Amino acid sequence: MRKNIFGILVTYILFINAVIAAAPPGKLQLNGQMFQLLNESIQANSDSISALSARVSTIEGDIATINSNIDSLDGRITTNTTDIATTLAATGVLSDELDALAAKHTVDFAALTIDIATINGSIIDLKASITGLIDELQAELDALSGGQEELNAQTAGKIASLESQIATLSGRVSTLEGFHITYPAACDSGNDTGTGTGAPWVVCEADENQAWISANNMGSYHAELICQEHGYTTVSVWSGTCGNVCGYCQGVGSTSCSKTGTGPEAENGSWSNFNGGTDELGDKIASTVQWRCVK
């Protein structure tokens, strides 16, 4: 409204000035003092109006800038309003979840408290039971301790008596062995006494310290047991024979107990490396074999 009034006034004044300026000389004379003052006043007002117009233009520009800023702020306010609504909605969901967790925690804590109380009760009962068991065990140990001393004394007496009897029997056995041990002679023969064996053997040579025994001519032999049956202790060495009797791979029939060949030292096999398995009578060597018995 103010802009329109200023515009009309300015237009009117400019129009008057234009009429005066365009009037022919002598046709329109505004030479009186009144008109001179009016012209001066109009000119001053015109200058003021121009200045005001410039200021109005500046203000209008500022208003346009402010309106633009207000529009921008309106957009930001709308965006912030949406964000706040979203945040409030999420906060509501989070609050509900926290409430649910708090309720569950309360229930779980109550259940755990009950469990702990139950366990504590069980521990108390268990301690009481253990104490009772310890007392009972101690009483039994005390009773056994008294009986153990008597039992130890009786056992010691029996052991001493058995040791005396064993010593006596050992002496008698040694005496009897001295009477009954007879060392084999060359060409003495026999059979393995093992169940299912019965393999024939023959003495190749023998004396009181050793005996050379050969399969006659093959089978499965408890060699160490056969040595012990003739007064020896164990087997020192053994070997194969290749089917010989009292020989080692010298041709079948070329050796015998009365015509010996190479002894079991030919292969020098250790008794610990027996090849015939083991049964209730001991370890065995098998097939065409020979061995040396020693004390």
Q: Is residue 81 part of a domain?
A: no
Residues 142 and 232 in one domain: no
How many domains does the chain fold into? 3
Stated pTM of the model? 0.42
Residues 159 and 225 in one domain: no
- Reported as a single tens digit per residue, the pLDDT across 120-169 is 787 688 778 778 877 887 887 777 776 777 777 777 887 887 787 767 66
Residue 286 CA, chain-centre distance (Å), reads: 52
Residues 173 and 196 in one domain: no
Distance CA 253, CA 245 (A): 8
Residues 210 and 258 in one domain: yes
Residues 288 and 207 in one domain: yes
Q: Is residue 27 part of a domain?
A: yes
Confidence class of residue 264 from pLDDT cuts 50, 70 and 90?
very high
Distance CA 283, CA 295 (A): 18
Q: Is residue 218 part of a domain?
A: yes
Q: Is residue 134 part of a domain?
A: yes
| Position 45, amino acid | N
Residues 193 and 151 in one domain: no
Extract the runs of DSSP E, i.e. beta strands, from 65-208.
189-191, 200-206
Domain boundary among 121, 149, 180: 180
Q: Is residue 95 part of a domain?
A: no
Q: Is residue 78 part of a domain?
A: no
CB 220 within 8 A of CB 197: yes
Proportion of the chain in helix, strand, coil states, percent, rounded to 5: 60, 15, 25
Task: Say if residue 217 is preceded by a cis peptide, omega within 30 of 0.
Answer: yes
Closest to 212 in 3D by CA, of 194, 190, 249, 237: 237
- DSSP secondary structure code for residue 264 in this structure: G
The Cα-based distances of 51 to 44, 132, 139, 261 in angstroms read: 11, 115, 125, 154
Q: Is residue 72 part of a domain?
A: no
Q: Is residue 109 part of a domain?
A: yes
The backbone region for 131, taken as left when phi is positive above 0, alpha when psi lies in -120 to 50, beta otherwise, is alpha
Domain boundary among 158, 180, 202: 180
Domain boundary among 127, 145, 180: 180
Top-confidence residue, 293 or 84: 293
The domain of 12 spans 2-64
